[in-house]
């Protein structure tokens, strides 16, 4: 079950990654360059992966400006994005599109500061399509659809706890390289499913469910810091990792928790054991990805080809 409401690094972009990004450049719409002093420039190169962007999609952005920059930030769908220097003049960032975003053309506005301190910006439009998500019927105990006053108080306390945890995230990226599945198992429910509990639509599934029995080891999808590791009313035993710059991963309904809040973990490290705690119809693992307050499709994040971080690339190009 999901919550209702999500880079210390620099990349060493490999030839293969750049080739992939070049192949998807055709999915981007009209452009405008806003150079220093209002001069128009057409030499910016803005690329995105995946090629087809839909609501709920995480996006890996690669930007190559016409001049060397000291810093690069962006504005996208109401979110602030901090880019990091990758290779050569290329800057990179991970962003996303909320499930509620309607189909249309949306601008990515870039603001760069050159090595000399002058401003250099650019604007590129991306086309966002609409993904088709399924509807499923579920039957659960009435305590999860019609909670008592006492249970409502517990739910409110959980919401306050989650709001506090989600409001403070690491400003620098902690994740590195490709994200890995938390378990080696088939999925039983996908992201975006409209869930009808006991005949009434109660939520949209904002994560990915894996078909595993109780006691299956659950691993971190990437490096991060544990910001939540405790039982909650709906989520059951729950672990939340902060991967930096607003990117979180969540692991719900665990039978046991094997990490502590504040602990640093690496990709593949044991977080807990799967179970059926909280609002669950049976043993399974629910994993979610949250970026700057919105939930993204975990399956899409797992499919992105992302480079490992390289400490030698931490400084902007000189």
Main-chain phi, psi angles of 250, to 5 degrees: -125, 145
Q: What does the pLDDT look like over 37-57, one tens digit per residue?
A: 444 445 899 999 998 999 999
Q: Output the pLDDT for position 147.
A: 78
- Domain extent, residue 243, equals 135-303
- Residue 291 exposed, middle or buried by CB count within 10 Å (0-12, 13-18, 19+): buried
By percentage, how much of the chain surpasses pLDDT 90? 60
Shared-domain flag, residues 108 and 162: no
- Kindly state whether residues 86 and 196 are assigned to the same domain: no
Do 180 and 264 lie in one domain? The reply is yes
Asked if the structure places residue 311 within a domain, the reply is no
Poorest-confidence range of 58-72, 90-104, 170-184, 187-201?
A: 187-201
- Is residue 7 domain-resident? no
104 and 146 belong to one structural domain: no
Same domain, 220 and 282: yes
Question: Do 72 and 95 contact (CB within 8 A), yes or no?
Answer: no
Asked whether residue 312 is domain-assigned, the answer is: no
Total domain count, the chain: 2
What pTM value is reported for the model? Answer: 0.79
Residue 229 region by backbone torsions, left for phi larger than 0, else alpha for psi between -120 and 50, else beta: beta
Query: Which range has the worst mean pLDDT, 34-48, 60-74, 170-184?
Result: 34-48
Cβ-contact 138, 199 below 8 angstroms: no
Instruction: Clarify whether residues 127 and 194 are in a common domain.
Output: no
Tokens of 159: 């919401």
Domain CATH for 68: 2.60.40.1930
> Is 268 in the same domain as 171?
yes
If asked whether residues 76 and 147 sit together in one domain, one would say no
Q: Is residue 3 part of a domain?
A: no
Residues 100 and 176 in one domain: no
Identify whether 140 is part of a domain. Answer: yes
Chosen domain end from 97, 117, 132: 132
């Amino acid at each position: 079950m999901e919550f209702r409401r999500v880079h210390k690094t620099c990349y060493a972009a490999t030839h293969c990654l750049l080739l992939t990004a070049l192949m998807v450049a055709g999915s981007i719409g009209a452009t405008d360059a806003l150079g220093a002093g209002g001069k128009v420039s057409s030499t910016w190169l803005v690329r995105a992966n995946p090629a087809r962007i839909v609501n709920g999609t995480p996006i890996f952005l690669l930007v190559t400006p016409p001049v060397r920059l000291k810093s690069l930030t962006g504005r996208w769908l109401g979110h602030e994005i901090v880019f990091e220097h990758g290779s050569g003049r290329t800057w990179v960032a991970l962003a996303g599109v909320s499930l509620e975003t309607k189909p249309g053309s949306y601008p990515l506005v870039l603001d760069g500061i050159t090595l000399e301190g002058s401003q250099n910006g650019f604007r590129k439009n991306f086309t966002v399509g609409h993904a088709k998500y399924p509807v499923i019927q579920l039957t659960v105990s009435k305590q999860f659809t019609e909670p008592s006053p006492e249970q409502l108080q517990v739910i409110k306390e959980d919401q306050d706890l989650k709001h506090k945890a989600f409001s403070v995230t690491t400003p620098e990226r902690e994740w590195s390289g490709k994200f890995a599945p938390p378990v080696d198992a088939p999925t039983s429910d996908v992201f975006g499913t409209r869930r009808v509990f006991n005949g009434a639509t109660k939520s949209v599934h904002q994560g990915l469910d894996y078909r595993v029995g109780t006691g299956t080891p659950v691993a971190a999808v990437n490096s991060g810091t544990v910001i939540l590791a405790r039982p909650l009313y709906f989520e059951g035993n729950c672990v939340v990792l902060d991967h930096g710059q607003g990117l979180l991963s969540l692991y719900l309904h665990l039978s046991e928790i094997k990490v502590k809040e504040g602990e640093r973990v690496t990709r593949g490290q044991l977080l807990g054991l799967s179970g059926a705690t909280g609002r669950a119809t049976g043993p399974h693992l629910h994993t979610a990805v949250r970026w700057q307050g919105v939930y993204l499709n975990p399956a899409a994040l797992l499919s992105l080809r992302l480079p490992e971080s390289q400490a030698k690339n931490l400084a902007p190009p000189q």
